[in-house]
């Protein structure tokens, strides 16, 4: 892969159609068929596509919103990704910008790659911003090894809604100052490796119980409230010179003169709020245009792409109608706007693309850093370490509840609970809970029978509870009588090991809940 020619030459040499093509970022799927790969190669070549965003497969969460398709595990996905990037680069007339969502590492999209903690765990860390820097740095290193230039993160949404179905654990928390502080550290770590970032989802997707993959969320707050809270981290990162801002699919009437238009196609929000009022001069990228929040409202091919560009997006992410979108922009757009967007995108491309092809280095080693993160984030949400020590010395019985792939029916779950109840012989119970899902839908996939069992234990026994997952699960649990509640946040190896050390009194809990949980905060 060669470097892009300097902007001044590109400005003169590229046709208007080529310049428009550079604004499109269709999806690429790592586990695609040969037929689909060839179709994308043809699209890249004929439409002068400027960038790609990689996803695991067409059955993954980013496309399979209703969850009806099975995601097939492929231990070779990383090797496929690297080979595919090289192949698609060869199909492009001009070097492609390669992007991916790697908020907690390549593992967000790719099997057998390094996984770092979710943002909510990082949000529990007090100070120690150097650890956030290291996370950003390590993830960026892994991106470089793969051939990726652009990590579409971090999330800087302030999560202040426990029912949020899509942000939650992806946010650093509910405090605007800490969200901004941690995001800045993460971004600087990423930038230290020459990898691009994109803060998201402007103007803030945290305070909603609607998933924009399915419907258009409503943010019914005043402009003043948004500027004082939700927009605060965005402004801080803009002031730091962040590369790009991703626009979410959100209805924010206070910013659109009462209209319920999606922020992703709103001139008032992108050109007015983000550009004019907040002073952002970098690249604006849309959230995925395949998401139902907007896609279902524009059945005419190319119309949504045109509206997104007209509103002020420079990069049209997950555009499904590239050819029609290019034609619509060429037909309707002002040439000056095309040139302005092209210049921003091309200069970003100049900044990011390295002269060498690929990278022969190894992926990052997660062990040491994850151990530090586990120790820094572990949170004693209720009780004291002295009480845990006394509990341990009295004697206790361990009960573990975690995902069981073989447990499906109500009958099987009931039999499992009966077996657990029959084993309990102590008044002191060490309860280890790993919620099956990190998202809150359907009570994190914890069955009613299991919840009843947990709450019965909480009411009738002396319980020390360790939660290896999203701490919002505690809103489902009666914790008033608990001896202690400890949030581990992850079920990764380093986090489980550190939790064990904590229970045995060998390490302290240094973290603090980054979100409000009933009965424990």
Token representation of residue 454: 């947990």
CA angle 403, 407, 408 (to 5 degrees): 115
Say whether 502 is catalytic.
no
- What phi and psi values does residue 281 have, to the nearest 5 degrees? -115, 0
Say whether 213 is catalytic.
yes
In angstroms, rounded to a whole number, what is the distance separating the alpha carbons of residues 346 and 97?
Answer: 10
Strands 428-433 and 97-100: unpaired
Strands 484-487 and 379-382: antiparallel
User: How far from the centroid of its chain's Cα atoms is residue 342's Cα?
Assistant: 27
For residue 155, what is the DSSP state? B
Q: Which of 243, 287, 314, 502 is catalytic?
A: 287
Q: Do 179 and 230 contact (CB within 8 A), yes or no? A: no
Q: Which of 56, 94, 201, 213 is catalytic?
A: 213
For residue 296, count other CB atoms closer than 10 A to its CB: 12
What are 505-510's contacts with CB under 8 Å, separation 24+?
Answer: 505/385, 505/388, 505/389, 505/392, 507/375, 507/378, 508/385, 509/378, 509/379, 509/380, 509/385, 510/125, 510/126, 510/375, 510/376, 510/377, 510/378
Token representation of residue 380: 């004693």
Token representation of residue 448: 């009613």
- What phi and psi values does residue 54 have, to the nearest 5 degrees? -90, 140
For residue 99, count other CB atoms closer than 10 A to its CB: 25
For residue 313, count other CB atoms closer than 10 A to its CB: 24
Token representation of residue 7: 């902007």
Strands (E), 48-111: 51-55, 97-100
* Residues with catalytic function: 213, 287
């Amino acid at each position: 892969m060669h470097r892009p020619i300097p902007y001044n030459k590109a400005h003169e040499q590229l046709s208007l159609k080529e310049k428009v093509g550079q604004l499109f970022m269709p999806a690429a799927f790592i586990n695609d068929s040969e037929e689909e790969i060839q179709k994308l190669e043809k699209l890249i070549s004929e439409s002068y596509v400027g960038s790609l965003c990689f996803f695991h497969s067409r059955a993954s969460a980013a496309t399979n919103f209703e969850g009806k398709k099975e995601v097939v595990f492929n231990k070779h996905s990383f090797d496929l990704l690297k080979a595919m990037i090289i192949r698609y680069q060869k199909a492009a007339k001009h070097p492609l910008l390669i992007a991916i969502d790697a908020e907690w590492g390549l593992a967000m999209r790719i099997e057998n790659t390094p996984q770092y903690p979710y943002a909510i765990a990082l949000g529990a860390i007090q100070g120690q911003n150097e650890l956030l820097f290291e996370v950003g740095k390590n993830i960026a290193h892994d991106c470089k090894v793969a051939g990726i230039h652009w990590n579409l993160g971090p999330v800087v949404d302030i999560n202040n809604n426990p029912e949020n179905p899509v942000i939650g654990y992806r946010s650093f928390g509910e405090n605007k100052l800490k969200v901004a502080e941690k995001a800045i550290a993460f971004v600087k770590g990423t930038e230290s490796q020459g990898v691009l970032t994109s803060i998201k989802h402007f103007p803030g997707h945290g305070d909603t119980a609607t998933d924009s993959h399915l419907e258009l969320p409503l943010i019914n707050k005043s402009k003043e409230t948004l500027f004082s809270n939700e927009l605060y981290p965005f402004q801080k990162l803009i002031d730091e010179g962040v590369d790009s801002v991703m626009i979410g699919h959100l209805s924010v009437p206070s910013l659109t003169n009462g209209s319920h238009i999606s922020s992703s196609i709103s001139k008032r929000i992108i050109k007015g709020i983000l550009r004019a009022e907040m002073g952002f001069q970098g690249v604006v990228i849309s959230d995925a245009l395949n998401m139902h929040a907007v896609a279902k409202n524009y059945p005419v091919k190319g119309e949504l792409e045109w509206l997104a560009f007209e509103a002020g997006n420079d990069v049209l992410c997950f555009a499904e109608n590239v050819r029609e979108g290019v034609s619509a922009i060429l037909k309707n757009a002002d040439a000056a706007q095309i040139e302005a967007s092209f210049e921003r995108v091309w200069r970003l491309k100049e900044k990011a693309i390295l002269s060498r092809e690929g990278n022969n280095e190894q992926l990052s080693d997660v062990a040491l850093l994850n151990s530090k993160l586990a120790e820094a984030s572990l949170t004693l949400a209720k009780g004291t370490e002295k009480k845990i020590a006394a509990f341990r010395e009295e004697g206790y019985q361990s009960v573990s509840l975690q995902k069981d792939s073989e447990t499906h029916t109500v009958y099987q779950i009931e039999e499992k609970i009966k077996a657990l109840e029959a084993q309990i012989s102590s008044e002191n119970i060490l309860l280890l809970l790993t919620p099956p899902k990190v998202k809150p839908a359907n009570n994190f996939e914890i069955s009613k029978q299991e919840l009843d069992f947990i709450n019965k234990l909480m009411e009738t026994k002396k319980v020390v509870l360790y939660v290896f997952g999203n701490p919002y699960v505690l809103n489902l649990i009666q914790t008033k009588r608990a001896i202690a509640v400890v949030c581990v946040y992850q079920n990764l190896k380093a986090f489980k090991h550190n939790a064990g050390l904590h229970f045995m009194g060998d390490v302290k809990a240094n973290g603090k809940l980054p979100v409000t949980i009933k009965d424990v905060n």
